[in-house]
Amino acid sequence: MEVDLAFIWAGLIAFAVLAYVILDGFDLGVGILFPFIKGEGSRDLMMNSVAPVWDGNETWLVLGGGGLLAVFPLAYSVILPALYAPIIAMLAGLIFRGVAFEFRWRASKSRWLWDAAFFGGSLLATLAQGVALGALVQGIEIEGRAYAGGWWDWLTPFSILTGIALVVGYILLGSTWLVMKTEGFVRSTARRYAYWSAYGTLGLIGAVSLWTPFLNPTYLDRWFSGPTTAFTVIVPSLVLASAFFLFRGLREGQDALPFLSALAFFILCFAGIGISFYPYMVPPSLTIWQAAAPDDSLSFLLVGSVVLLPLILLYSGYSYWVFRGKVDPSEGYH
């Protein structure tokens, strides 16, 4: 039986992107919430809740971007020029917040500046990711084997909506993370933010989901004709089930259930994008197999990934295990 290497690599890249979204999503959400929870001690606690894991979370972004370049070079060469502006904005935001992690703990007079960098970098990176995702979902114009659109094609009402949706969604992840990892004032304030961000996330998921099928006839067929119509019932039902457990967890004061339910939102939304996209790597015209590198390259790189991926999973899991439980305000990470 012939092994479909392009399909396997598409699955690995999708897994890396999903891992990045759900792992870095909550620490970006903590950064966006930063100015809305008052008090130096509270903000120290917020930062300490993500300080041990935030840089490890971004490993998945490197893996997803690097993997795309190595195994789907044609897709990379088309997507990058189409999304230069949001990608550069995202990287600038990630750099600002990364520097803020280190400098804020050493600064006294200029601490307000690093607080602003942490918040601004988190917000900019999240908004840029959402806009880039929306631009990709709405489709990228290709002529021959190159990008054929303009400099500002990424900026549309739909991409702005997806950018706002991701900001609200990451606030939900960040607030439920704080509910799980902290106690006292920070936890009670985060719980309040979790409620309104949950309502906002559900509303925006609904708006994006209703708009998406009408962007492309392929999406419309996928969701409203043939056997894949079943997903039109299954995916929203699972989202509503996740919402039920999210609100129940918040109402009962549980620690982990709200965060796990918020993660389920993102996994289901990611699955919805996959249902719309497949088999395209760059909709509406470049499939996984058209974008893939030669089989010899794919098989060579797959050998490396068999070694690398378990190592990343191992040290990521070990980091979360070591820093499990509530964050102690008296024992900072730094």
Q: Is the domain 5-323 a CATH 1.20.1630 member?
A: yes
CA distances from 286 to 30, 67, 290 (A): 36, 17, 6
Write the pLDDT tens digit of every residue in 17-36: 999 999 999 999 999 999 99
As given in the structure block, the two tokens for residue 319 are 């980091």
What is the phi/psi pair of residue 242, to 5°? -65, -40
**What pLDDT is stored for residue 333 in this prediction?**
56
Neighbours of 267 (CB within 10 A): 14
For residues 43 and 34, the answer to whether their CB atoms sit within 8 Å is yes
**pLDDT for 261:** 96
Give the pLDDT score at 154: 94
CA distance 58 to 148: 31
Question: How many CA atoms lie less than 13 Å away from 272 in the CB half-sphere?
Answer: 25
CA dihedral sign, ordered 21, 27, 32, 37: positive
The residues spanned by each domain of the chain are: 5-323
* 135-155 residues labelled b (16+ CB within 10 A) or e (exposed): bbbbbbebeeeebebeeebbe
Residues of the chain where predicted confidence (pLDDT) is lower than 70: 1, 331-334
Percentages helix, strand, coil for the chain (3-state, rounded to 5) are: 80, 5, 20
Q: Are 114 and 104 in contact (CB under 8 A)?
A: yes
Predicted TM-score of the model (pTM)? 0.94
SS3 299: helix
